[in-house]
Amino acid sequence: GENVEQHPSTLSVQEGDSAVIKCTYSDSASNYFPWYKQELGKRPQLIIDIRSNVGEKKDQRIAVTLNKTAKHFSLHITETQPEDSAVYFCAARTREGSNYKLTFGKGTLLTVNP
Amino acid sequence: GAVVSQHPSRVICKSGTSVKIECRSLDFQATTMFWYRQFPKKSLMLMATSNEGSKATYEQGVEKDKFLINHASLTLSTLTVTSAHPEDSSFYICSAFRTLQPEAFFGQGTRLTVV
């Protein structure tokens, strides 16, 4: 099955700096890669996603890049703010039979220091 | 966006009792729902895939007799933790895909504490 590796596990930056989180996946059939932000005790919230036919996508301060050949994708947050502090998960979606399945990375705890 | 509602948000139960968690898709029909378990500061681990009208598909290592899943309608899946023990204490989250949309929608999660 799919295996998603995520690095780093923790990341601390100063407010205004950029943050980069990287993920790799193993199944070349994976075709959709979402990123989720999860605050303590709350549900994961989709912040950006990218499909396998696109190399880069940007939404204001957040961008995601995908390298299908190397099977890795990255989340970039620019001009970080304290409210960006949370756990971020990458995921890869594969199809198993008639169902889709999401496999998550282990998460990155991002701390933005004021 | 689509809404998935999970209930209860918190539950405390005694060892040996059973607890039922509900996951509802409020504005769409979900033929498939997913149940995850999350330990503190850890990732979401898929427990099982719930299919409407058929048996759930459990991930390796998940006891199907302990974690009973029922998906009796296109908008409701339930997870019952039977004979709960303190080690079952965790955060349980459900999610669903909406037809023709790739993103997963998550319930609010249920914090289960077994005392």
Q: What letter represents residue A31's amino acid?
A: N
Which among A13, A3, A90 is positioned nearest to A46, based on CA atoms?
A: A90
User: Which residues, other chains included, contact A14 with Cβ-Cβ below 8 Å and sequence gap of 6+?
Assistant: A80, A112, A113
For chain A, what percent of residues have pLDDT higher than 90?
Answer: 85
Query: Is B74 part of the contact surface with chain A (CB cutoff 8 Å)?
Result: no
Residue A29 confidence (pLDDT) above 80: yes
CB contact under 8 A, B44 and A104: yes
Which among A22, A23, A4 is positioned nearest to A101, based on CA atoms?
A: A4
pLDDT at B55: 87
Residue A96 confidence (pLDDT) above 90: no
- What element of type H or E holds A21? strand A19-25
| Chain B neighbors of A46, CB-CB under 8 A | 103-104
- The string of pLDDT tens digits covering residues A32-63 is 999 999 998 889 999 999 998 889 999 999 99
* Average pLDDT in chain A: 94
Residue A101 confidence (pLDDT) above 90: no
Task: Give per-residue burial for A54-93: e unless 16+ CB within 10 Å, then b.
Answer: eeeeeeeebbbbbeeeebbbbbbbeebeeebbbbbbbbbb
* Beta-bridge mates of residue A87: A38, A109
pLDDT, average across residues B91-97: 93
pLDDT at B80: 97
